Structure 1
Amino acid sequence: MPCISTVNVNGIRAAARKGLLAWLASTTADIVCLQETRATDEQVGVALAPALEAGWQLTHAEPESKGRSGVGILSRQAPRAVRIGFDSDEFGAAGRYIEADFDDFTVASVYVHSGEAGTTRQDEKYRFLAEFGAYLTKRTDDLVVAGDWNIAHTERDLKNWKGNLKSAGFLPEERAWIDELLAAGYVDVVRGLHPGVDGPYSWWSYRGRAFDNDSGWRIDYHLVLGDLATRAEQALVERATAYDQRWSDHAPVTVRYRRSHS
């Protein structure tokens, strides 16, 4: 049964030094979506060399802006095809989207802008959402889009929602955009497997005691289109056991899917 994980590594070189390589050596995932590598293709290959020597296959979209963005997909078997970017002149080379075909489904890794309310950074995020949303709603295949969406969809998806009503990541326009994707047929499979509960959160600020108090945000999603959504059977946020065991400010979000009967 395919097992797919996603994690924002918050800098691939630092994460590799702090524990990512050990996690890759122990995970049961067949496919791992990476975000915010903040590195060139060559640098990512060097950072992940032990994992690649152990058999992981890497596809990566390096960012055009040095030290920002960067997304990749690690897989146990080589994908049949890889596509970087989507139908966008502005964001095609931004290192924010990559997709790969496997057997009877496609897996994509996405890194949505964090934004900043009331600034040009938020305007850029909205332009990205508009173009990316148009691309996603045209799809009809079995597709897993996993990554750091930088949007908490509902009040259940962040601890301090009352204090973030005017914050980027929880603005009405952002949350409505997720609504539109769900209305178009995408399924938030982690929420589907954890209904009616707060979280499970996947990101905690390094500031203060956010991690210790589990004052987090659920912003790392698997949004799934097609038959594969009905086959999600287990979802787990692989939260570190202690603050000093973290190798990113995000935790891997891992979903196991049943095999197709066809």
Structure 2
Amino acid sequence: MKFISWNVNGLRAVMKKNFMDIFQQLDADFFCLQETKLQAEQIQMELPGYTQYWNYAEKKGYSGTAIFAKEPAEKVFYGIGQDVHDQEGRVITLQYPQFYLVTCYTPNSQNELKRLDYRMEWEDAFVSYLDELKKDRPVILCGDLNVAHQEIDLKNWKTNQNNAGFTMEEREKFTALLDHGYVDTFRHFYPDLTGAYSWWSYRFNARKNNAGWRIDYFVVSSDLVDHLTSASIHAEILGSDHCPIELQLSFE
């Protein structure tokens, strides 16, 4: 079973950059998107064989998530059930017999960390939401979680220690998530691999020089570890400042 997650940084823009070719090439059972930057009815996508699930931000051209699934979900939930956190279209949860699939676009702490306090509130609310799901069945979380967890998860860690995405506060929240019984699947397979990134700034030839950050993740509850078969980062796929990431599991 193949899962893909991709922050497209504007789906309408990526549609002009061979999105459909990439979608068909990857041939995922579940294709999760973040930062779609859409409102309802602003795009019509023909995806035969897939059920489409969309969550839109109230603010136009901002945030937003989607999941395209070959198998329709038993149930679907939008947001995390708290109005203060559910205005920006950041979370979709699909329920299946064997797991919950959650795609998430975590709030960015922004320049000068002006949204860090809100980010901390979000993190606590979100892990509580995941923990409630996990009581019922295993959880697969994917998305742009807007944090590089360890020093090996970004190229220039020394100069970014007080910048959004690599503050001690954000990194500690990711550690706390793992401590709640979750596994960073890429590090499960590649605990010490360096140079593996999923996002690059558009400035300073960052992608050409692979001066990136790994801020896109598949995280699973620990009861799924035995079902993991592979995790990968598709750095060769262009179209966004992020690249797609992949997880494969087997339930046979």
TM-score (norm 1): 0.91
Q: Which amino acid aligns with 1:67?
A: G
Counterparts of residues 40-55 of structure 1 (less than 5 Å): 40-44=39-43, 46=44, 49-50=45-46, 52=47, 54-55=48-49
Name 1:35's counterpart in structure 2: 34
Q: Which amino acid aligns with 2:159?
A: G
Which secondary structure state, in structure 2, belongs to the residue aligned with residue 41 of structure 1?
coil
Q: CA deviation at 1:63?
A: 0.6
Aligned counterparts of 2:212 and 2:226: Cα–Cα separation in 1:
28
Unaligned 5+ segments in structure 2 are none
**Residue 66, structure 1, aligned to residue 65, structure 2:** no
Structure 2 contact 103–142 (Cα < 8 Å) conserved: yes
Which secondary structure state, in structure 2, belongs to the residue aligned with residue 18 of structure 1?
coil
**Residue 259, structure 1, aligned to residue 251, structure 2:** yes
Distance 1:199 1:40, change over 3 A: same
2:107 to 105, 113, 131: 113
Identity of aligned residues (%): 35
Q: Which amino acid aligns with 2:246?
A: T
**Residue 169, structure 1, aligned to residue 168, structure 2:** no
Q: CA deviation at 1:117?
A: 5.5
Aligned counterparts of 1:83 and 1:57: Cα–Cα separation in 2:
15
Structure 2 contact 195–210 (Cα < 8 Å) conserved: no
Q: Which amino acid aligns with 1:160?
A: N
2:203 to 207, 214, 228: 207
Q: Which amino acid aligns with 1:237?
A: I
Which secondary structure state, in structure 2, belongs to the residue aligned with residue 195 of structure 1?
coil
Distance 1:119 1:153, change over 3 A: closer
Name 1:148's counterpart in structure 2: 144
**Residue 197, structure 1, aligned to residue 193, structure 2:** yes
Structure 2 contact 198–243 (Cα < 8 Å) conserved: yes
Structure 1 contact 57–74 (Cα < 8 Å) conserved: yes
Name 1:8's counterpart in structure 2: 7
Q: CA deviation at 1:121?
A: 2.0
Structure 1 contact 40–62 (Cα < 8 Å) conserved: yes
Deviations 1:156-176 (A, max 9, x none): 100100010110100011101
TM-score (norm 2): 0.94
Q: CA deviation at 1:199?
A: 4.3
Q: CA deviation at 1:43?
A: 1.9
Structure 2 contact 112–163 (Cα < 8 Å) conserved: no
Name 1:216's counterpart in structure 2: 212
Pairwise CA RMSD = 1.5
Distance 1:27 1:248, change over 3 A: same
Q: CA deviation at 1:136?
A: 2.0
Structure 2 contact 148–166 (Cα < 8 Å) conserved: yes
